Chain A
Amino acid sequence: MSDPIIKIQNMNKWFGDFQVLKNINLEVEANKKIVVCGPSGSGKSTLIRCINRLEEHQEGDIIVDGNELSEKTKDIEKIRAEVGMVFQQFNLFPHLSILDNCTLAPIWVKKMPKKEAQELALDQLKKVQIDDQANKFPGQLSGGQQQRCAIARALCMQPKIMLFDEPTSALDPEMIKEVLDAMVSLAKGGMTMIVVTHEMGFAKEVADEVIFMDEGMIIEKAETKEFFANPKSDRTKLFLSQIL
């Protein structure tokens, strides 16, 4: 067994007086796909935002790829560059074309030559099948196309880990499939992924492990088959009965 690439120990987080995450312990090994599910407000998004320190935790340790995240972490940008993230609202940069969205960070953060960055970007865009839209602006694309572009943009940084924060929740049912397809093929390529989603079909197909969260706690963590076949806690059973 290799060393875990993400290691969270006894992590607590508060928003003001409200404790959003309670005593989180989680280890993710490289190349594993983890799906996090749970009712809204259960702290799923906050958890994965803590992994690239878009949110700061107050207690406990988070270790990503051997680097501990804390206030003392100096090169937080370096760690973030290795952790790609896809958001619910896409968050493409509306003033830049699709291609520029993808090349911006490689050129300015990784100091990649422009030519090389563009080739890489077109390659990634091709993988998610929107290379023909490269010169359009985000506002001219459909939601599904935008989200696929957001995936390509994150991949252009050649990250070791990809975080997905409800990537299909803002999409029409028809577009969900094209985004999930892109994620499935990414998973088959061996990427380490943590996905917050309500798409149980995706979880069954791809995930190695499923985590169920409620009220800021990890209620259940199990292998995918085990999780769906015989969930242990009553809360998980209730949730699954409602969602499936």
Chain B
Amino acid sequence: MQAINFLKPNRDNIKNYSIIGSVLILISLIDVISNAFLKTNLTSFLPGSLTTLFPLILGLIGLNMMRIDYSGNKTLDLLNKNINTNNFNALLTLLILFSIIKALPPSLSWMIFDANISGDSKDACTGTGACWTYIKVWFRRFMYGMYPNEFHWRINTAFILVIALGFVGYFMKENLKKYLALYYVIIYPVIAYLVIYYLISGGSFGLQWVETGAWGGLSLTFIVSFFCLIFCFPLGMIFALGRRSNLPVIKYISICYIEFWRGVPLITVLFMSSVMFPMFLPEDFFMDKLVRVIIAITLFEAAYCAEVIRGGLQSLPRGQYDAAKSLGMGYWKMHIFVILPQALKLVIPGIANTFLALVKDTPLIFVVGLAELAGMLALAKTNPKWLGFAMEGYIFASIIFWIICYAMSKYSYNLEAKYKTER
């Protein structure tokens, strides 16, 4: 049995190597943890810079000793393959691990241990951590904007109704399935519009009229995103097909449309819609600002959708068109039954990308005076009674946006898996 060579591990002494290696890594971890959580430096006897580098060096040696190919131990092999392939990767692993450990205590104490949530005024926040009281007090504003408190049930009911109507497709009878697309593209948006108009705006059925200027917060984010999403997709599809059309008029109209909207920044489009557009309208014609903004974003995003969908159309082999044509299908039948189902499946990731960008672009409507979630934050942080809590607000908003976007991207992965029929 050969002597243990510290820098050249081999399979013969695998047990010794892995035990010594894990002990070394354990020591380095203990050192970092005690440093971060207990604020004690175990290696204070070492000279200055060596103290900080000590756990890194120790960990590196440990990982080096454990790096044995095909050790036969599954956990060890997995570890070596994924985080410990060479010294550089081992160093990265340790650095990331140590940074997380170092960052954990201060962020935890700010967010939880030193934070306040009781009370309902700024004075309740006595700790050094976050002031969640601020979020608690402003919560309804962040969700519903300036919408009168006693009518919030109207927003909730409207949303529940719209979501429920969205699930109708799942419960449709087999013989009605062919109208599914028609339902989602035309009927559903109209019903959703009516529900939101009569419930949230009110003005009839004994409900008090609430101006769209008072709408705001997360509910406004949802309303804007919802209508933009369901309208920009079919519109984008039309322009994608238009751009590939053989008819020059349709083709060039589509190209002009797409290139125009892709060429202007969203923020100018929003300004135009709210400031310039009303000037061109006849005097007695009134269109609500929110409607104008939704139309502007829809037209803007439709151009992006069109190009994403065109990418999918482009990637289909010509044989698919040939086969559909040779069976006697005309342009529309060929596209509806053969081309679009395949192309749309291919562009699910791209469409999800565009939709996520759209949701995250909605805060821009603040520039025309509509305050959705991020807009309400901007208002709240300048409130003289509640100065200095911007941080809490932005963390709150980013968590909410993250949840929305993560849910959307998860859903897109599910769709991808659902429609996967190729090998």
Task: Give the B-binding residues of A (Cβ under 8 A).
Answer: 49, 52, 54, 77-78, 80-85, 87, 89, 91-95, 104-105, 108-110, 137, 139-140, 150, 153-154, 157, 163
Contact = CB atoms under 8 A, between A and B. Distances in A.
B325 A54 contact: yes
B185 interface: no
B146 to A, nearest CB: 48
Contact of B325 (A80, A104, A110, A163): A80
A89 B342 contact: no
Contacts of A139: 421-423
23 contacts: A54-B322, A54-B325, A54-B326, A77-B328, A85-B322, A85-B323, A85-B326, A87-B323, A91-B319, A92-B323, A104-B327, A104-B337, A108-B337, A109-B327, A109-B329, A109-B333, A137-B421, A139-B423, A140-B423, A154-B326, A154-B327, A157-B327, A163-B326
Contact of A105 (B319, B328, B422): B328
B320 A91 contact: yes
B148 interface: no
Q: Which 5 A-B pairs have the closest CB atoms?
A: A81-B328, A91-B323, A105-B327, A91-B319, A85-B326
A140 B330 CA distance: 28
A52 B323 CA distance: 11
A105 B421 contact: no
A91 B323 CA distance: 6
Contact of B328 (A94, A157, A163): A157
A77 B329 contact: yes
Question: Which secondary structure dominates where chain A touches chain B?
Answer: mixed
B341 interface: yes
B329 A93 contact: no
Contacts, number: 73
A91 B322 contact: yes
A75 B330 CA distance: 9
A182 B10 CA distance: 62
Q: Which range contains the number of B residues in contact with the other chain?
A: 20 to 34
Nearest to A107: B337
A140 B421 CA distance: 9
Contacts of B154: none
Contact of B326 (A83, A92, A104): A83
A104 B320 CA distance: 14
Contacts of A82: 328
A91 B339 CA distance: 12
Interface in B311-357: 317, 319-320, 322-330, 333, 337-338, 341-342, 345
A211 B327 CA distance: 26
A54 B421 CA distance: 28
Interface in B367-418: none
Contacts of B324: 93
Contacts of B329: 77, 105, 108-109
B344 to A, nearest CB: 10
Nearest to B319: A91
Interface of B: 317, 319-320, 322-330, 333, 337-338, 341-342, 345, 419, 421-423
A52 B326 contact: yes
Contacts of B422: 94, 137, 139
B326 to A, nearest CB: 4
Contacts of B337: 104, 108
A95 B327 CA distance: 17
A69 to B, nearest CB: 13
Given A82-B328, A109-B329, 9 more contacts: A52-B325, A85-B326, A89-B319, A93-B342, A95-B419, A104-B338, A105-B328, A105-B329, A139-B422
A50 B160 CA distance: 57
Could you say which of B319, B323, B345, B423 has the most chain A C-beta atoms within 10 Å of its C-beta? B323
A91 B338 CA distance: 11
B318 to A, nearest CB: 9
Given A87-B322, A94-B342, A81 B327 contact: yes
Could you say which of A52, A81, A109, A150 has the most chain B C-beta atoms within 10 Å of its C-beta? A109
A108 B423 contact: no
Contacts of B322: 49, 54, 85, 87, 91
Contacts of B419: 95
Contacts of B333: 108-109
A80 B421 contact: no
A77 B325 CA distance: 7
B330 A77 contact: yes
A54 B328 CA distance: 11
A141 to B, nearest CB: 10
Nearest to B327: A105
Contacts of B328: 77-78, 80-82, 105, 109-110, 157
Could you say which of B328, B345, B421 has the most chain A C-beta atoms within 10 Å of its C-beta? B328
A77 B327 CA distance: 8
B329 to A, nearest CB: 6
A91 B320 CA distance: 6
A95 B343 CA distance: 10
Contacts of A110: 328
A89 B423 CA distance: 16
B421 A95 contact: yes
Contacts of A91: 317, 319-320, 322-323
Nearest to B322: A54
Contacts of B317: 89, 91
B342 A95 contact: yes
A84 B322 CA distance: 11
Contacts of A109: 327-329, 333
A157 B345 CA distance: 27
B326 A80 contact: yes
B327 A94 contact: no
A95 B341 contact: yes
